[in-house]
Amino acid sequence: MIIRPPTNWLRMLFIWDGSVLKTIVPQLLIILAISVVAVVTGGHVLGAKIPLDTVPFPLVGVSLAIFLAFRNNAAYARYVEARQIWGRILIAARALTSQVVNYLPRDGDGFERKLFVQRLIAFVYALTHQLRHTDPSADLARYLSEEERKELGSMHYIPVALLDRIRLMLARAGRKRGEGEPLLWLLDNQVSELAAAVGGCERISNTPIPFAYGVLVHRTVYLYCFMLPFGLVADLGMATPLVCVFVAYTLFALEAIAQEISEPFGTDPNCLALNAMTRNIERSLLEQCGEEVPDQLEPCERYNIS
């Protein structure tokens, strides 16, 4: 995700990073070439006049607007839900850490508070890597022992395995202190909230927008833009390339934005900044336990801290 300082209206017109313009430049060049051909030939192809005028384009445009609106609304709903789930992960992790700090015995009484926090932070990193299909070894090595990493290495759902280990630690500590079921239920509710968040993320990651909708929108946008120059050339003349490229930019950009945000856990510029959110959770939990807090992730070159 692109994190950038506030910009004024003039700079916003020329921003390159974070926009989808770089991904649709080839398509716009194709539309420009087709528009120039339409102007040069007067709307003729192989000597035959293509019988198009401006009448059908508003009708097709209405249908296209409906398709694009549905696709973008569905994509944005997935993006918002993913962000809300990660907000709940932050809240549940903080609440669980606070409860452990205040309700459970310290290390000398048999509960390894530091190991608990390390496993909880490792859970967050493991979830990030699972959603992005990347190798979690480097991040897990900072918080888990080599033996535990080997045990987890053969598992397919490392975040779930870490939650199971956290739950076992809490159950043993609660019973040892003799607080009984009320304290265990209190702690288990937060672990269950984290488990529900894992399931929510997996649902979004494993259930994309139905492929047929994407194909329909994609085909309609391209056919509309390819035919548009031949429908406008008789009325617009030399202005046809400018108008067609502008219309194509709007339609291609909307489709590209929907494609990016429909996969909110990806690494595209407009996906969620999981690296920054994970580091924020890490810093918060360590601070609650009085441990040394790592530096906050700052926007690096081009303001990208995905």
Q: Where are the domains of the chain?
A: 20-303
Q: Provide the mean pLDDT of the chain.
A: 86
> Which two structure tokens, joined as six digits, stand for 306?
């995905």
Alpha helix positions (H), 1-55: 9-14, 21-41
Question: If phi over 0 gives left and psi between -120 and 50 gives alpha, with beta otherwise, what is residue 207?
Answer: beta
CA distance 210 to 216: 11
How large is the angle between the packed helices 158-177 and 146-153, nearest 10 degrees?
130
pLDDT at 142 over 90: yes
The model's pLDDT over 24-39, given as tens digits with 9 standing for 90+, comes to 999 999 999 999 999 9
Q: Which residue has the higher pLDDT, 126 or 70?
A: 126
Looking up tokens 């939650």, which residue turns up?
Answer: 163
In this prediction, residue 1 carries a pLDDT of 56
The model's pLDDT over 168-186, given as tens digits with 9 standing for 90+, comes to 988 888 776 665 667 788 8
Find, among 233, 157, 144, the residue nearest to 195 by Cα: 157
According to DSSP, residue 2 is labeled B
